Amino acid sequence: MSPPLSSADPAGPPVALITGASRGIGAATARLFAHHGFQLLLLARSSSELESLATELRSESCRVETSCVDLCEAQTIAPKLAELLSRGLRPTVVINNAGAAYTGALAEMSVERWQWLMQLNVTSVLQICQATLPALREGGGQIINVSSHAARNAFPEWGAYCTSKAALASLSRCLAEEERAHGIRVSTLTLGAVNTPLWDTETVHSSFERRAMLTPERVAEALLSLAQQPSSQVVEDLTLMPAAGVL
């Protein structure tokens, strides 16, 4: 098995840090990256699901380190990341995949729910980046933020989600400008609807046809393509939509 063309440290295989790794896009990405020679740093809230995935991947001779982190708890992120990174794997690719959605009118949304969504979809991404930038700067690296076409559009009942993803897109562009001098590339993967457990959560009410959505496996392939770009170039934003149209 040969390593990817880029993101690899000459001293060893590339290392991907993935948030929201226990299910959906995160789990599909972990499996695909492991198959392509990456070692993994996996973060998720569900300890049992995360360890089940880690056990599966370790059986294929992939080194996997995990940390159970609730990204809604801002004060725990930095110490959790510090402990995870102290185990000896230096990330070369950071994939900020974890996120949530909320459907409901902005006029009726509580401030507490608003702050919860912004913490998870925007602020925690900043915190993950801040925690991993020192390691990424050591040899150059890449940050890939998973966003949504909601960042560019307005949908009734999805206002808070649209706002959070628009903020994430802006954060990604600003971070790219600041970190370019340090050899760090920042990409955004902008997605249409993906058939993940997000649609089963209590904060989302939708009647979209899930069979028409993108699959987590196709999204994982797009993430791998971004991660394998040569270090001399960067895909700043890749948009992947269901062929059926806007979902």
9 inside domain = no
Residue 4: half-sphere exposure toward Cβ, Cα within 13 Å: 28
Report pTM.
0.90
Asked whether residue 106 carries a pLDDT value surpassing 90, the answer given is yes
Instruction: Report pLDDT for 103.
Output: 86
Cα distances (Å, whole numbers) of residue 92 to 14, 76, 189, 191, 212:
6, 23, 17, 23, 34
Number of domains in the chain: 1
Instruction: Report pLDDT for 85.
Output: 97
Instruction: Report pLDDT for 168.
Output: 98
7 inside domain = no
43 inside domain = yes
Could you tell me the strand order of the sheet in which 64-68 lies? 64-68, 39-44, 15-18, 93-96, 141-148, 184-191, 237-240
Instruction: Output the domain CATH number for residue 224.
Output: 3.40.50.720
137 inside domain = yes
| Helix, strand, or coil (residue 84) | helix
Asked whether residue 240 carries a pLDDT value surpassing 80, the answer given is yes
Asked whether residue 86 carries a pLDDT value surpassing 70, the answer given is yes
245 inside domain = no
45 inside domain = yes
38 inside domain = yes
- Domain span at 208: 15-240
Quick one: pLDDT band at residue 136, thresholds 50, 70, 90? very high
Q: Tell me, letter by letter, the H, E, C secondary structure of 149-205.
A: HHHCCCCCCCHHHHHHHHHHHHHHHHHHHHHHHHCEEEEEEEECCECCHHHHCCCCC
Q: What is the mean pLDDT of residues 29-43?
A: 97
Q: What is the mean pLDDT of residues 67-79?
A: 97
Structural tokens at position 89? 């794997």
Quick one: pLDDT band at residue 6, thresholds 50, 70, 90? very low
4 inside domain = no
Asked whether residue 4 carries a pLDDT value surpassing 80, the answer given is no
Q: Of all helices (H) and strands (E), which one includes residue 40? A: strand 39-44
Candidates 12, 46, 13, 1; CA nearest to 27 is 46
Instruction: Report pLDDT for 197.
Output: 59
